[in-house]
Amino acid sequence: MSIAVTIPPEKLTGTAVGKSTPKLENREKVLGRAEYIDDLYRPGMLHAAILGSPHAHARILSYDVSQALAAPGVVAVITGDDVPDGRMGAFIKDEHALAKGKVLYQGEPVAAVAAETLEQARAAVNLIEVEYEELPAVLSPEEGLAPDAPILHENLDAYFKVFDAGSKGNLCSRTELSEGDVDSAWAECAVVVEGEYTTEPQAHVAIEPCGALAEVDAQGRVTLWSANQSVFRVQANVCESLNLPMSRLRSLTPRVGAGFGNKMEAHVQPLTVALAMKTGRPVKCILTREEDFEIVRARHPFKVRMKTGADAQGRLIARDCEVLLDCGAFADDSPGVLGYALLMSGGPYRIPNQRARGKLVYTNKLRFGAFRGFGNPQVGFAGEQQIDQIARKLGIDPIEMRRRNMLREGDGWFAGPKVASNGLARCLDAVEAASGWARRDAISAAPGKRRGKGIAISAHISGLLGTGAIVRMLEDGTIALNTGATDIGQGSDTVLAQICAEALQVPVEMVSVASPDTDGSPYNWGTTASRVTYTTGRAVAGAARDVLRQAMDHAAEMLDVPVDQLELREGGRIAVKGANVDLPFAAISARAHWAKGGPIVGSHSLVFDEPTHDPKRAIALGLPFPRIGVFSFGAVVVDVEVDEVTGQPRVAEAWSAIDVGRAINPRLVDVQIEGGFVQGMGFALYEAMVWDGARLVNPSLMDYKIPTSADTPPIHSIIVEDPEPNGPFGAKGAGEIGLNPVPAAIANALTQVVGGPLHALPMTPERVLDQMTGQADEQPQGQGDEA
Amino acid sequence: MAGKEVFALQINGTRREIFAPGDATLLDVLRDDLALRAAKRGCNQGVCGACTVMVDGVPVRGCLTLAGACTGREVTTLEGFADDAAMQALQEAMILSGGVQCGFCTSGMLITARDLVAQTPVPDEPAIRSALSGNLCRCTGYVRIVEAVTDAALQLARQKDTKREAVE
Amino acid sequence: MSFVVAPQTVDEAIAFLAANPDARPMAGGASLVAMKNARLIEASHFVSLARIEALRGIGPSAAGGLRIGGMMHHRQIAECADLTGGWQMLRQAAGLIANRVVRNMGTIGGAIANADPAADYLPVLACAGAEVELVGPDGLRRLAVADYLVDWYETALEPGEIVTAIELPAGGDGPSVYRKLARTPGDYATVSVACAREGAGPDSSVRVAVGACGPAPIRDRDAEAALAGRLHDPAAIAAFCATLAEQADPIDDVRGSAAYRLKLIPRMVAAAIRDVTGDR
Ligand SMILES: Cc1cc2nc3c(=O)[nH]c(=O)nc-3n(C[C@H](O)[C@H](O)[C@H](O)COP(=O)(O)OP(=O)(O)OC[C@H]3O[C@@H](n4cnc5c(N)ncnc54)[C@H](O)[C@@H]3O)c2cc1C
Ligand code: FES
Ligand code: FES
pLDDT in tens, A29-66: 999 999 999 999 999 999 999 999 999 999 999 999 99
Local confidence band at A787 (pLDDT 50, 70, 90 cut-offs)? very low
Comparing alpha-carbon positions, the chain C residue that sits nearest to A290 is: C38
Residue A202's φ and ψ, nearest 5 degrees, are -110, 135
CA pair distance A700, A705, nearest whole angstrom: 9
Q: Which residues pair with C71 in a beta bridge?
A: none
Chain C residues with CB under 8 Å of A710 CB are 184-186
pLDDT at B168: 63
Is residue B98 in contact with ligand 3, taking CB distance under 6 Å?
no
Least Cα distance to A618 among A357, A310, A378, A308 occurs for: A357
Local confidence band at A14 (pLDDT 50, 70, 90 cut-offs)? low
Comparing alpha-carbon positions, the chain C residue that sits nearest to B23 is: C3
Is residue C133 in contact with ligand 1, taking CB distance under 6 Å?
no
CA pair distance A185, A505, nearest whole angstrom: 55
CA pair distance A77, A128, nearest whole angstrom: 9
The torsion defined by the Cα of C84, C90, C95 and C101, in degrees rounded to 10, comes to -120
Helical axes B143-167 vs A666-685, angle rounded to 10°: 120
**DSSP label of B133:** G
* Domain regions of chain A by residue span: 7-34+465-607, 374-462+628-782
pLDDT at A198: 98
Please, which chains are in contact with B (at least 3 CB pairs closer than 8 A)? Answer: A, C
pLDDT at A757: 84
pLDDT digits (tens, 9 = 90+) for A732-754: 999 999 999 999 999 999 999 99
Span between the terminal Cα atoms of chain A, in Å:
27
Q: Taking residues A294-310, what's their average pLDDT?
A: 98
pLDDT at A410: 87
pLDDT tops 60 at residue A372: yes
Min Cα distance A767 → chain C (Å) is: 9
Instruction: Provide the 10 A C-beta neighbour count for residue A609.
Output: 10
Please say whether the beta carbons of C184 and A651 come within 8 A. no
Please, which chains are in contact with C (at least 3 CB pairs closer than 8 A)? Answer: A, B
pLDDT at A781: 34
CA pair distance A160, A94, nearest whole angstrom: 8
Q: For strand A511-513 and strand A479-482, is the pairing parallel, antiparallel, or unpaired? A: parallel
Best probe of the B interface among C51, C100, C101, C107, by most B CBs < 10 A, is C101
Residue-wise DSSP of A710-766: TSPPPEEEEEE----TTSGGG----TTTTTTTHHHHHHHHHHHHH-S---BSS--HH
pLDDT digits (tens, 9 = 90+) for A540-568: 999 999 999 999 999 999 999 999 999 99
3-state secondary structure of B10: strand
pLDDT digits (tens, 9 = 90+) for C70-95: 999 999 999 999 999 999 999 999 99
Residue-wise DSSP of A206-234: -SSPPEEEEEE-TTS-EEEEES-S-HHHH
The alpha carbon dihedral of C245, C248, C253, C259 has a sign of positive
pLDDT at A6: 37
Which residues, 6+ apart, have CB-to-CB distance to C111 below 8 Å?
Answer: C74, C97, C119, C120, C121
Instruction: Provide the 10 A C-beta neighbour count for residue A558.
Output: 15
Share of chain B above pLDDT 90, in %: 92
CA pair distance C216, C218, nearest whole angstrom: 6
Local confidence band at B1 (pLDDT 50, 70, 90 cut-offs)? low
Closest residue CA from atom 4 of ligand 3: B137
Share of chain A above pLDDT 70, in %: 97
Q: Taking residues A578-606, what's their average pLDDT?
A: 96
Which residues, 6+ apart, have CB-to-CB distance to A786 below 8 Å?
Answer: A441
CA pair distance C215, C143, nearest whole angstrom: 17
pLDDT digits (tens, 9 = 90+) for B37-46: 999 999 999 9
Helical axes B85-97 vs B143-167, angle rounded to 10°: 140
For residue A137, the Cα-to-chain-centroid distance in whole angstroms is 30
Q: Which of A347-356, A381-390, A546-555, A776-785 has the lowest mean pLDDT?
A: A776-785
Is residue B138 in contact with ligand 3, taking CB distance under 6 Å?
yes
CA pair distance A303, A199, nearest whole angstrom: 7
Q: Has domain A374-462+628-782 been given CATH number 3.40.50.800? A: no
Ligand 2 nearest atom to the CA of residue A701, by list position: 4
CATH superfamily label, B83-167? [2Fe-2S]-binding domain (1.10.150.120)
Comparing alpha-carbon positions, the chain C residue that sits nearest to B64 is: C33
Q: Taking residues A472-492, what's their average pLDDT?
A: 97
* Domain regions of chain B by residue span: 4-80, 83-167
Is residue B103 in contact with ligand 3, taking CB distance under 6 Å?
yes
3-state secondary structure of A152: coil
How many CA atoms within 13 Å lie on the side-chain side of A222?
31
**DSSP label of A523:** P
Q: Which of C97, C112, C154, C163 to mutate to test the pocket of ligand 1 (most atoms within 8 A of CB)?
A: C97
pLDDT digits (tens, 9 = 90+) for A347-361: 999 999 999 999 999
Residues of C with a Cβ under 8 Å from any B Cβ are 2-4, 6, 26, 28-30, 33-34, 36-38, 46, 48, 50, 98-102, 104-105, 185-186
CA pair distance A338, A359, nearest whole angstrom: 8
Stated as kind and residue range, the H or E segment containing C135 is strand C131-136
CA pair distance A774, A756, nearest whole angstrom: 10
The alpha carbon dihedral of A696, A702, A708, A712 has a sign of negative
Which residues, 6+ apart, have CB-to-CB distance to A214 below 8 Å?
Answer: A222, A223, A224, A225, A269, A272, A273, A275, A276, A282, A283
How many CA atoms within 13 Å lie on the side-chain side of A13?
5
Least Cα distance to A113 among A287, A285, A241, A292 occurs for: A285
Residue C25's φ and ψ, nearest 5 degrees, are -65, 145
For residue C203, the Cα-to-chain-centroid distance in whole angstroms is 28
Q: Taking residues A451-473, what's their average pLDDT?
A: 96
Q: Is A698 in CB contact (< 8 Å) with chain C?
A: yes
pLDDT tops 50 at residue A8: no
CATH class name, domain A7-34+465-607: alpha beta
Q: For strand B4-11 and strand B74-76, is the pairing parallel, antiparallel, or unpaired? A: parallel
- Bond from prior residue into A757 cis (ω within 30 degrees of 0): yes
pLDDT at A82: 97
Residue type, A736: E
Span between the terminal Cα atoms of chain C, in Å:
61
pLDDT digits (tens, 9 = 90+) for A154-186: 999 999 999 999 999 999 999 999 999 999 999
Local confidence band at A144 (pLDDT 50, 70, 90 cut-offs)? very high
Using the beta-carbon criterion (under 8 Å), do A766 and C260 form an inter-chain contact?
Answer: yes
Least Cα distance to A495 among A6, A25, A7 occurs for: A25
CA pair distance A562, A553, nearest whole angstrom: 9
Instruction: Provide the 10 A C-beta neighbour count for residue A584.
Output: 15
Residue type, C219: R
pLDDT tops 70 at residue A786: no
- Identical fold at A7-34+465-607 and A374-462+628-782? yes
Using the beta-carbon criterion (under 8 Å), do C101 and B130 form an inter-chain contact?
Answer: no
CA distances from residue A487 to A30, A443, A479, A527 in whole angstroms, order as listed: 17, 42, 19, 7
Using the beta-carbon criterion (under 8 Å), do B130 and C185 form an inter-chain contact?
Answer: yes
pLDDT at A443: 79
Closest residue CA from atom 3 of ligand 2: B46
Q: Is A30 in CB contact (< 8 Å) with chain B?
A: yes
For chains B and C, CB pairs below 8 A equal 91
Share of chain C above pLDDT 70, in %: 100
Q: Taking residues B33-56, what's their average pLDDT?
A: 98
pLDDT digits (tens, 9 = 90+) for A227-261: 999 999 999 999 999 999 999 999 999 999 999 99
For residue A695, the Cα-to-chain-centroid distance in whole angstroms is 26
Q: For strand C139-144 and strand A715-720, is the pairing parallel, antiparallel, or unpaired? A: unpaired
Q: What domains, with CATH codes, occur in chain C?
A: 176-277 (3.30.390.50)
Residue C58's φ and ψ, nearest 5 degrees, are -125, 125
pLDDT digits (tens, 9 = 90+) for A690-736: 999 999 999 999 999 999 999 999 999 999 999 999 999 999 999 99
User: Exposed, middle or buried, A8 (CB in 10 Å: 0-12/13-18/19+)?
Assistant: exposed
Compute the mean pLDDT over every residue in chain C, rounded to the nearest whole number: 96
pLDDT at A2: 36
pLDDT digits (tens, 9 = 90+) for C251-261: 999 999 999 99
CA pair distance A399, A440, nearest whole angstrom: 12
Compute the mean pLDDT over every residue in chain A, rounded to the nearest whole number: 95
Q: Has domain B4-80 been given CATH number 3.30.70.330? A: no
CA pair distance A567, A577, nearest whole angstrom: 6
pLDDT tops 70 at residue C48: yes
Q: Give the ligand whose atoms come closest to the C-alpha of residue B51.
A: 2
pLDDT tops 80 at residue A7: no
Please say whether the beta carbons of A386 and A405 come within 8 A. no
Local confidence band at A785 (pLDDT 50, 70, 90 cut-offs)? very low
pLDDT tops 50 at residue A779: no
Please say whether the beta carbons of A134 and A60 come within 8 A. no
Q: What is the ipTM of this complex?
A: 0.97
Local confidence band at A679 (pLDDT 50, 70, 90 cut-offs)? very high
pLDDT at C202: 87
CA pair distance C232, C226, nearest whole angstrom: 13
Compute the mean pLDDT over every residue in chain B, rounded to the nearest whole number: 95
pLDDT at A612: 93
Q: Taking residues A676-685, what's their average pLDDT?
A: 98
CA distances from residue A625 to A178, A233, A575, A615 in whole angstroms, order as listed: 16, 17, 46, 14
Residue A211's φ and ψ, nearest 5 degrees, are -170, 165
Using the beta-carbon criterion (under 8 Å), do A674 and B44 form an inter-chain contact?
Answer: no
pLDDT digits (tens, 9 = 90+) for B67-122: 999 999 999 999 999 999 999 999 999 999 999 999 999 999 999 999 999 999 89
CA pair distance A750, A484, nearest whole angstrom: 44
Selecting from B44, B100, B130 the residue whose C-beta is nearest the C-beta of A30 gives B100
Please say whether the beta carbons of B9 and B18 come within 8 A. yes
Selecting from B22, B64, B68 the residue whose C-beta is nearest the C-beta of C30 gives B64
CA pair distance A458, A742, nearest whole angstrom: 9
Please say whether the beta carbons of C33 and C39 come within 8 A. no
Q: Taking residues A649-678, what's their average pLDDT?
A: 98
Please say whether the beta carbons of A460 and A632 come within 8 A. yes
Using the beta-carbon criterion (under 8 Å), do B133 and C99 form an inter-chain contact?
Answer: yes
